[in-house]
Amino acid sequence: MNKHSLLSMQDLSVDDIFSILHDARLFNNSYRDWQFPFQKALVANLFFEPSTRTHFSFASAQHQLGCQVEDFNAETSSVQKGETLYDTVKTFEAIGYDAVVIRHPKDAYFKYLEGVNIPIINAGDGAGNHPTQCLLDLLTIYDEFGTFKDINVVIVGDILHSRVAASNKDALERLGANVFFSGPKEWEREGYPTMDLDKAVEWADVVMMLRIQKERGATLDLGVDYLTRYGLNKERYARMKEHAIIMHPAPFNRGIEIDGDLVECEKSRIFKQMSNGVLVRKAVMKRAFGLEPFKD
């Protein structure tokens, strides 16, 4: 496996995380127009699962960096003839691609790609990891509070099926934040400490809502509506701390996990997260090509 691959947040030390956040911030300031200092940067985006934000913010980042970008479509590819993931990715390596971005529904699909030599960037594996989503979440929190130390974060909803919850737990705890989880009992995860939502909205500096991952089998017969029981409604919003913020990886379902009017309210950073996604993906692409972090 190429040493510049990014498969999970566990691939990154705390120093690595801060280097990526530092580069991402500079991409929004003095390095706004920076491009790769070489001609050939041919990248392919292989999405085996639906995506809007991750796919197109990677594409935006890659184009801004001067990469040549190709999108792979599994439906019109030789996957339909039975080609394996490994053989598909080895093919991209053999025909001259310098890096690949992959989203796949299988947890830890990258374990099958040990023999690939070009950098692989994980854009989400099943319920496993979503490292670039985590990095953009970290950038959003860091922009807001200037630290992670003792920041109270509650992650709310379908924890069991969420790769966002998993990646954020790992990174935020290492960075010194206090992380709790809230949601239906059926979707709790072993080792993930829980807090009652009505207490958590008053405790948290960051309220991170999650979508119900129906595509991973999340079903629940609640008997009452989800928003009232487990969602961020206006009554809970009114009890949040003055400086607290709302986050959501999106796509969000207005009126289910979050009141539709709160998506763009004063405390919401949901669309800022998406903008930050382009910045961190520029930094991650730069790292994938083996370039050192910016000096200033």
Which parts of this chain interact with ligand CP (CB under 6 A)?
51-55, 124, 133, 249-251
Q: What is the DSSP string of the chain?
A: --TT-B-SGGGS-HHHHHHHHHHHHHHTTTTTT---SSS--EEEEEESS--SHHHHHHHHHHHHTT-EEEEEEGGGSGGGGT--HHHHHHHHHHTT-SEEEEEESSTTGGGGGTT--S-EEEEEETTTB-HHHHHHHHHHHHHHHS--TT-EEEEES--TT-HHHHHHHHHHHHTT-EEEEES-GGG--TT--B--HHHHHHH-SEEEE----GGGT-----SS-HHHHHSB-HHHHHTS-TT-EEE--S---BTTTB-GGGTTSTTB-HHHHHHHHHHHHHHHHHHHTTPPPP--
| 129 or 133: CB nearest ligand CP | 133
| Closest distance of CB 7 from ligand CP, Å | 16
| Closest distance of CB 124 from ligand CP, Å | 6
| 26 or 100: CB nearest ligand CP | 100
| 27 or 58: CB nearest ligand CP | 58
| Closest distance of CB 47 from ligand CP, Å | 8
| Closest distance of CB 73 from ligand CP, Å | 16
| 64 or 167: CB nearest ligand CP | 167
| 26 or 263: CB nearest ligand CP | 263
| 2 or 51: CB nearest ligand CP | 51
| Closest distance of CB 22 from ligand CP, Å | 23
| 215 or 235: CB nearest ligand CP | 215
* 44 φ/ψ angles, rounded to the nearest 5 degrees: -125, 140
| Closest distance of CB 54 from ligand CP, Å | 3
Residue facing ligand CP at closest CB distance: 54
| Closest distance of CB 232 from ligand CP, Å | 17
CA 244 – CA 267 distance, rounded (Å): 7
